Structure formats: C-alpha cells, structure tokens
Chain A
Amino acid sequence: MSEHNEIDRVSGRSTTGHEWDGIKELNTPLPRWWVLTFYATIIWAIGYWVVYPAWPLVSGYTTGLFQYSTRASVATDLADLEKLRGEKMAVLGNASLADIEKDPALLALARARGKTVFADNCAPCHGSGGAGAKGYPNLNDDDWLWGGSLDQIMQTIQFGARSGHAKTHEGQMLAFGRDGVLKKDEIVTVANYVRSLSGLSTAPKFDATAGKKLFTENCTSCHGDNGKGNPELGAPNLTDQIWLYGSDEEALVETITNGRAGVMPAWVGRLDPVTVKALAVYVHSLGGGK
C-alpha cells in the first residue's frame, strides 16, 4: 500500500490511491464501534457453525451442539397442528350432519376441513374438484349410485362400495355375455334399448320390442321396471343423461358383456369420525347432494 501514500492537502489524510473522474478516495479510518461490530458478527457466525447444523461432509453434515433439526421441528409443529385441529373440529363431532349444514359457521368449518381431506384422499380417483372420470363418479352432479343425501354420502364414505368391509355397499352388474346368459346380438339389442331409455339414438335395424322383452327379463330386477335404477343396489338410473362408463353402443355392450364392479374403499378406521363427517358435508355441498 505504500506506493500510493499521496496526502490530500485539504484533509491532511493519505489517499487510498483510488481515483474516479479526478475524485480521490481518502483513506479514512473506520469508526471503532463499526469495526468491533464487524468482528462481533464474525464471532457470531463461528458460534452459529458450532451450535447449528452447518457444514456438509462427504456422507453427512455437522449436526451442531443441540442436534437441531428442521425436520424434527416440522414434525412437532405438525403434531401440534393436528392437536389444535382436533380441538377446533370437536364442535363438528357434537353436531348432527343436518345441524352442520344449517349453521353457516359450522358449514364453513366442515367445508374447509373437507376440502383438504378430499384433496389428500379422494382426489386421486374423483379428481381434485370431484369431477370424476370414466368409472369414477362425478360428485358435482345430481346422479347418485348409492344415494345423495347427507347420511347416504356419509355411509358410502365410511364403508365404501364392494370394499370388503362388513357394512359395505354390495351389488354387482352381472357379466351377461361372459357368463353366457345373453348372446352377442341380444346384447347389442339390449344396449340399443338402454340408449333409447334416455332418448339417445338407436341403430337403424334395432328391434324395440325385442329389446324391451330382453330388458324386462334380465335387467329390471336391479334397474327397475322403467330403468330408473335403485340406490339400494347401486344400480344406476338408465334414463338420465349421466353415464359412468360411457353411453355409446360399444361401451354399453362391454358393460353388459363383462359386468361392472367399481370399488370404493372404506374410510372408516383410516379417517377419524369427525373428518368423515366434514368430508360428507363437503361432498354434499359440491353441488350434487340431494
């Protein structure tokens, strides 16, 4: 540094030798408190290395004096949150489903809770907004295989459909083709008849009388005389516009030939009762509930 010990004549100080546009930088000493503060931060930083996890090593890292771990503290926070949530949700546990729907505050609480639980557990099948997909019912419409009242929805969530749980919904769509009950052309006829029930177009050579006869013999025991379905058996309404597996002839032939038996798992035991309640209220409020 000694090669630039030029002295500024005004201040009497040496300059650093740096110069910008003719303005020279004075070599002014730093204030002592500033320097001390700077050293203090360095010492603080070293303390930090010792106390907290800091340095990556080849197969690990320095863990620090107190084994502090963000992962562990997140786990604690989550546990605390669960506890707090349990306390908040307790009011839902004490209220009946109907009461919850009537009280705006409870409804908002149940919907908020239901929404997150739905996203975690139900969205993989029913979609994040409950819109469903082929084979997975849309929960926003007004067509319900197993009934759309609050209680019915709650029951379906609890025990599922064909889930193996003792109280689960049972009911099978028989495999009329595979089991040899109906022949190929008969199945096509029934499929066209079913389409006609909801006002859809039918094949040109379709024999309506034969279709009705085959339907009455094979299908009415579950779907009812007029094809309106039966929620007790999970038999869908065949006269409306909503088709779980599709409404074209090919899809219907497939359904009648091989049968359908979609499975909904039972959630009792996996979700606590209050959560199930909140979920039922949420699903009901999606728009489809009756």
Chain B
Amino acid sequence: MNKPVPPDELMTDEDGPLYAPRKKVYPQSVSGRFRSIKWRLMAVCLGVYYLLPFVRWHRGLGAPDQAVLIDFPNRRFYFFFIELWPQEIYYFTGLLVLAALALFLMNALGGRIWCGYLCPQTVWTDLFYAVERLVEGDRRAQIKADAGPMTAKRAGRRALKHAIWLMIAWWTGGAWVLYFADAPTLVRDLATFQAPAIAYVWIAMLTASTYLLAGYMREQVCVYMCPWPRIQAALTDEWALNVTYKYDRGEPRCSVKKAFDIRSLGEKAGDCIDCNQCVAVCPTGIDIRDGAQLGCIQCGLCIDACDAVMTKVSRKTGLIGYDNDINVQRRVAGKQEIFKPVRARTVVYAGLITVVCAVMLYALMSRTLLDVNVLHDRNPIAVRLSDGAIRNGYTLRFLNKRGFDRVIAIDVDGPADAKLHVIGADSVTPDRPMIVLARDTTTELRVLVTAPLDERAEKSVPVTFRVTDIGLGEVASATDHFVLP
C-alpha cells in the first residue's frame, strides 16, 4: 500500500533535475523456494541454449545431422524430425502465435512469470549477479567496497569479475552462431580463424550486447526498454496472481519487541518488522510494500527473503506471496481467500493454444513431400501451330522434399488428344516423360501441351498435370487452363 511521503521529504526543487544517474542495485543473495526454482529454470534454459547445437540427428547421407539447424544458404530449417522449406514459413508464424498465447496465459495466471523466471534478460542478469557476488562478495561487502578507496585487491577482483562476465558473454554469442552451421565444424573453424567473417561479427555483437545488458543495464532494460510490462498491464485482470505484500497482515509495521507489547495489550500489530530484507534482495531495487509496480519483475525473491524472516520471528510465512487485491479485500472483510485459475480469460487462452497446436500438428502431419505447381505462359497465352493445332506453354515447378533422388513421370489430363512435351526431360518412355528430381530441391521445367484444334471446343478447358513417383507411388497434381487463341 502506498503511504504518503512525509511533508519534509517532498521535493522542494520546482521541476527537479532533467536527468538522474542510476542508483546502483546491490541485490543480496537469498535462498528459498523461488530461488531454487529460479536456479533450476536457469540451468534448463542455459543448458538448452548452449548445448542444443551439439545434439545430433541422423537424416541420411549428405543431409545435415544437426538436430536444430537454420541453414540459410540452402534455405532449410531443421528441427529434429522436421525439415521446413521457406514456403512453410507459416509454421514459424504459428510458433509466434503460440508463444504470444502462452505469454498471455502465464500473465493471466501469475502475472509476469515470464519476466521473473524465463526472460533471457532475467536469466543472464541473474547469472551475472551470481558471478558478481562470488567474486566481490555479497551486498554488504560490495556496498562497503564501493564506498571505500580502490585498492589493488579490489581492482583485481573487479578485473576477474569482468573477465568472467566477458567469457560468459562471448560463449553466449558463440552458441548463437552454432545454430546456423554444423556446430562441431564451426567450432573448429572459429578456433582456427577459418570461419566466415559474418560469424565473428555476430559473436562480437552478441558478446557486446550480453555484456552490456546483463552486466550494466540490468533492471533498466525491464523498466525503461522492455515493452512487455506496458503490454501486460493491459492484459492482466484482478484475478491474476502477482507478488503482493499482504498489507492487511503486515501493517502497521513495527519491531518484534513493539509488536509483542502491542499484542500483549490485545491489540493488532502488523507482521512486517520493517527489516527491509525484501528490498535488499530485490534485483530491481524496489520496495514491494509500495504495492504492485512497473519495476517488479515478479521473481519471487522477496517472498523467499520475507519467509526466512517470518520463520526466524516465529510468525506464519507468506507475508509476501502470490496473491491479488481481491483476496486482500476478502481477508479484511473476514472472508475466505479464493483463487480462480479457471475463468473465461484463461479458458479462452488455453483453448486457443490447443487449437493452434492442433492445427499446426495436423498441417505438419499432412504436409506433402512431393509437390507440383503450375504457371501458365502469359505471353503468348496460346500458340497456333502450322497444322492448325493449338499449343499452350507452362512452367512446372516440382518440389522433392525427401532426402533422396526420385524418378517421376508426368501425365497430363486436358483437352482431347493433348500431347505433352517436356523440355529437358531425362527420358521419354512413349508418351510419358520422366524426369529425375534431385533430393531436397525444387526443379523447374517448361512443358508444352499441344492439342488439335476443335472449333467447337470451349475457349478454355481445365488441364491437370499429374506427377507420380515411379518408386514410391506418391502422386501430386496441379491444375490450370488450356486456352484457345
């Protein structure tokens, strides 16, 4: 609950300074339920990020055997058993939609869960803080050292901290490029300076951004740069659980002893002993007791800190916890707390997630591995031959998404007695042109369809090109029109 500032602390300066330096935050180490959840999630996130490029996936001779690979030169995306082509980019759209919906659902259930636990900015900053505490000591030691003179020992520690930070940052940039080429080969090439220049550029950029964002910008990214806090404020509702200081239970704040005295008189004393532990551990340096605010990334560390304090003073834990204003009001009114994870908003989000997942899964399962597209010549649209017959030209594009070469036959259904001529056909069995489609490629061919002129025929009749894989029997077809001049 916001409490008014005492009159003597009001700013007297008329407009205040135009800009202000950042107040350095020294978050204190803490242990507890949420801290250990955060450690585990960090291990999973970083583990996946750093190690995934090295996971192998056998796809047959000549195909890359990296489980997750974004192959720009060949325009392919490999994800375990899935291989996507550029025209299947809509799967990524689907993934983005899913990610957005998941974010909405998380937000409706527990506020900025993403911010506090999973956001890369949080994960890396948390890691950098851990390094800092390991090298320079915890909150108190750091504050003391910063206030004192720069000694050789301190300078050495500083240097060590930055060296470790830079190493992590560099490894972060290095892992990034491994997603774009065969990881073990690229590692060797990078080490021997044989890798393409663009790889070094990306590593340098990501090293710099990781070092700057996680080492220096820290909570400022969340407060000033990130749009998500603004967006999520519009998406949340009164039922969403947020890290909340239960002021109904905490206020009025007073020391343990004073509280004891007040209680012995039979009056109500708050549980908060004003020890400021929740502020000391907060990575964004805010006081959660001021109420829900932009700066809170909902990491839950203040919950751990306060729970430890409550345990020490033998009070019930959970003075700070995931809660909402509705429950504060209900407790004040002496009613039972209620939690409503299932409500219209969450059901709709979960439903949408299921639908999008189902659609994507269906699309993935039913995607064709042999395909043909047809493009009619526009100019001329039809040609009259010397014997009066009519010819239409088409460009056929074949897609062979399988990892091996295949022989296909091309048939045409169109006007009566239509003849098919494929320019550049590999072999022609009587009236049935066949071509070889190289593995994992598109092939474009020009074909001509000739039909004797029938004056009574329609100006335009459908023509269907059917391709048949001679070996597997897979069939694909495409339809266009045969036009008379």
Which residues of A approach B to under 8 Å, CB–CB?
A: 1-2, 5, 7, 9-14, 27-35, 101, 104, 107-108, 111, 127-131, 138, 140-143, 237, 240-242, 285-288
Contact = CB atoms under 8 A, between A and B. Distances in A.
Interface string B1-41: 01111000111011111111110000000000000000000
A34 B21 CA distance: 10
B173 to A, nearest CB: 22
A246 to B, nearest CB: 14
19 contacts: A2-B15, A5-B15, A12-B5, A13-B16, A14-B16, A27-B16, A33-B217, A33-B220, A34-B224, A101-B424, A131-B380, A131-B383, A138-B380, A141-B385, A242-B385, A285-B423, A285-B424, A285-B446, A287-B446
Interface string B350-389: 0000000000000000000000000001111001111110
Contacts of A30: 18-20
Contact of B387 (A28, A138, A240, A288): A240
A12 B22 contact: no
Nearest to B426: A104
Contact of A29 (B4, B19, B435, B446): B19
A221 B377 CA distance: 39
Given A7-B11, A129-B379, A131-B380, A240 B386 contact: yes
Interface of B: 2-5, 9-11, 13-22, 217, 220, 224, 377-380, 383-388, 391, 393, 423-424, 426, 435, 443-446, 448
Contact of B19 (A34, A143, A286): A34
Contacts of B393: 140, 286-287
Q: Per DSSP, are chain A's interface residues mostly helix, strand or loop, or mixed?
A: loop
B383 A140 contact: yes
A29 B18 contact: yes
A13 B9 CA distance: 10
Given A31-B20, A31-B22, A14 B15 contact: yes
The residue in B4, B5, B380, B388 that gathers the most chain A C-beta atoms within 10 A of its C-beta is: B380
- Classify the interface of chain B: helix, strand, loop or mixed: loop
Contacts of B443: 104
A35 B19 contact: yes
A241 B383 contact: no
B428 to A, nearest CB: 12
Given A29-B20, A130-B380, 14 more contacts: A7-B10, A27-B15, A29-B17, A32-B19, A32-B22, A33-B22, A33-B220, A34-B19, A35-B19, A141-B386, A143-B386, A241-B384, A242-B385, A242-B386
B448 A127 contact: no
Contacts of B448: 287
A46 B370 CA distance: 56
B94 to A, nearest CB: 33
B47 to A, nearest CB: 32
B5 A10 contact: yes
A7 to B, nearest CB: 5
Nearest to A1: B15
B379 A287 contact: no
